[in-house]
Chain A
Amino acid sequence: MSEALVPLIAPLMPHLVVAPVLVPLVAAALLLLIGQERREVLVAGSLVATFATLAVAVLLLVWVDAQGATPVVAVYLPANWDVPFGIVLATDRLSAMMLVVTGLVAMGALVFAAARWQRAGVYFHPLFQIGLMGINGAYLTADLFNLFVFVEVMLTASYALLLHGSGRARVQAGLHYIAVNLVASALFLLGVAMIYGIAGTLGMADVAQKLAALPPHDRGLLYAGAALLGIALLAKAAIWPLNFWLVPAYVSAAAPVAALFVLLTKVGFYAILRLWTLFLAPQGDATARFGADVLVIGGLATIVVASLAMVVSRNVRRLAALATMVSSGTLVAVLGLGDAVAVGGALYYLVASSLAVAVVFLLADLVERSREKGTGATLDEGLAEPMPFAADGRPPAPGVNLDDEEAALIGQPVPVALAFLGASFLACVALLAGLPPLAGFVAKFAMLDTIIGSAAPAQVPLLGWAVAVVLVGSSFVALGVLARTGIRYFWAPQGRPPPRLAVIECLPIAALLAILLAMTLAAGPALRYTTAAAEGLFDASAYVQAIAGTRPVPSPTHGTRGRQEAPR
């Protein structure tokens, strides 16, 4: 089916590359003009724009994947300047994949927000579109400074979206979130400036070419610049010890906003992946794999810290925020090992974990709302929930069945809404803990099999073993903690009125889980795609040459473009 699309896409290339930036931008501008009380129009416009962006992303993915085994890059010159001078947008397998993930999560978050959350404040839809534009732009750009600009656009929208719904907790978390991100942005700029100072250019492909011929006495400056850039990006990916902003911000954000925020940490990881493989990994000299051990150890520390924090958390949203950190840590640690096939597995894990964590954020909202209605209890850590098992020998609360043999509870109908929430949560547990049969298992197996399974045990580096042990350990912790939470929320409570859910709220959860199921069933082609994406990264020459070889479109009125000629 996908092959049939290629002839239809071909005439649109390379202009399709810029569409994931333009569509949300235009949509945001139009949505700003519509009165904020006309919510049906706003929702419709926002949905159409997001769906169009998702469709474009899928077309780009199909086109990139249809070009055969060689790493292929679609390049677009937005201002039609010659390559090293103008800004370049480029799509390869990785970018196209990230665009599709963004589109899927954004679609889910938006449909979910249409039910309730969009009414919590004004300008939700324009801000959502601007955030989407920033994320998409960051995935597409092949220019360092343009990457900074798109990241800032994305963050500015996220500052405002975090405050959506207002309230003391959101403003408090927002203040810390903005301050941390502004400092990280300052470091980002310092890093970009240093790399510009060394290479004299900002196009990523051009920098990569210049760095290959870097004189030895400039290596120290390159390392300093790369380290500054790395700190900024690792802070955005919430790698320990730069992670303390994440949990308060994600816990206090509105549910659809939190689901969108899952993508923000992925942008940090994407930038590290792109720049590290382009600038530091490929060269076979002293520069090769600068900072690899820092990535591995930082990633592992993040997984350990987040897993320990999970053990003492009882709130579902807090667990989801910590799962975001575990996901980031896993990706960065596996990247640091520098094996293309393992990174291919990690990219599959990225898709699976992003979708799964987004689903957990949406589920958490529904679950906590039903608890709130049933008991009038506060949301904080669920402390108001009475323990079903009395520790001091008092008789159990009425309606609690402690006896396995007793059959009294059989025949009590489970409300459909509760069954849906429980089943979805169970699927998320399997996904996040990496249990078969869902995609989480396939992802972790693909990573572990490459890291420790592809060589004789004696040849696996020590850090490889460390990654394997921590990955398995974090899966175990996630399983225990999430199962405990599931029991507390779905199994133990008795005699509570069933949750009241709108179909439109269940739809995104069901759809995202269905996509994850499809990813599991099509694990072979999906892994082949992500591995090809990773190999395209580690052999960056195709990316560099595709960008360096792109010529501007000649002007229809003049044979040559005047602006390229040096003035005399």
Chain B
Amino acid sequence: MRNSLGRFVSEDFRPFVASNAYTNKERIRIPEKKTTNVNKVISSLREVFDRLNISDGMTLSFHHHLRDGDRVLNLVAAEIKRRNLKNMVLAPSSIFPCHSSLVELIENKNVVKIYTNYVNGAVADAISQGKLEKPLVMMTHGGRPQAIESGYLKIDVAFIACPNADSEGNGNGFAGPNACGSLGYSISDMLYADKKVVVTDHLVSKVSKREIKSEYIDYVLQVDSIGDAQKIVSGTTKITKDPIGLMIAKEAARFLDSAGYIQNGFSMQTGAGGTSLAVAHFVKEIMMKNNIKASFASGGITGYFTSMLAEGLVDRLFDVQSFDLEAVKSIGKNKNHIAISASEYANPYDDNIVNKLDFVILGATEVDLDFNVNVTTSSLGNIIGGSGGHADTAHGAKLTMIVTPLIKSRIPIVKEKVTTITTPGSDVDVIVTERGIAINPLRKDLIEKMKSSNMDIVSIEELLQRAHRITGIPAKIQFSKDIVGVVMYRDGTIIDTIYRK
């Protein structure tokens, strides 16, 4: 069958209808799972597997707060391999290049299905090549907690990497040798998984600021190392020095200012990307010049935002994920730097933060004439990322702005049709490129407001023409009919299907 955007959806799933379709449905929540266990500390992963009887076909979950420095998923993968467990299902909130050990498990059918919100590196390549037996399910940061609390994604055992924990199972990400800040993505797993294991390399006598709560935790596994928190910092969390990126960012900030979005008490989020972060820099300059203060910033938090908090330019930070070590330092100390769960951040059925955003700045690998955005696959069809919070924030924020070069490596970013839809065009308001700005025709108010500006505002069709005048019209990529994954919108419907090349 086809969904409302014309994309194929196999019969096993519900098709996407509209980004606000969830408002007609009731929130479903399975009961929270508490523990009666008392002696929780275990020093061997093997013993955890034995005690919890982890066996073929079970679903194991993980969070990705240690990003490319995570070791916990790899430790568990090694034990699955050692026991030669089969048909396992994994549900990590994201997968990074450091998790390449999963490829062998995928090839040997130890792991046959994966639910995640973002995947890149060797695992993404293996899935793109059709090696995963069952289709990959790409969720959003808000859709994952919704899927867990509703019981759609049933987790047998959640392994929660915890940089700072006590023997009762209380924990947080604020201290320890691998402090990584907020543990927001693990909260739904903690509440609703059948069994929960805190994995720590820093066991202390008492944790007072609790992100992870002992009443939900069955076991505490002490290991030498949960990873390397230095690697939570990636290149995408630094402000770009690329002149084209800076130029786009400057135009984006000018647009926001002209359209009246930078006013006292406004709220904002920038995605993880050098250009998005540069927008924050230019927004800050406008704020300082006009003596404006923001009410909050949210999402993945970087040192840039913690500095703004310290300088009094923003009242509060709602942090679902700390993107660098400056943010990690701040979250444990500043009471206005608040750790939130993924559900509080973006679950469509929760009283979420994304719905309170005035604007969000996001990136794109492709945008099409209907303003649909792809951040899941490359133009060549390889899986290279995923929504993360893209679709969630785009729906919630009053203004969704995409900042992207019009051409990357000789490939136009604006297309007639995107390869894969991650975020529906109805939730995308404006595209800012170095060669012009396009406003979604659905935003008549914004078009009217910007009429008197001297900015280079054109139709999205004109942006496409401008790209083609430089690159020519690229040949279409042919895909096979083999399905390697589905893109699950935040309400659990399928917005697109991913094919093997």
Whether both chains belong to one complex is answered with no
Identify the B interface with A (CB < 8 A): none
Identify the A interface with B (CB < 8 A): none
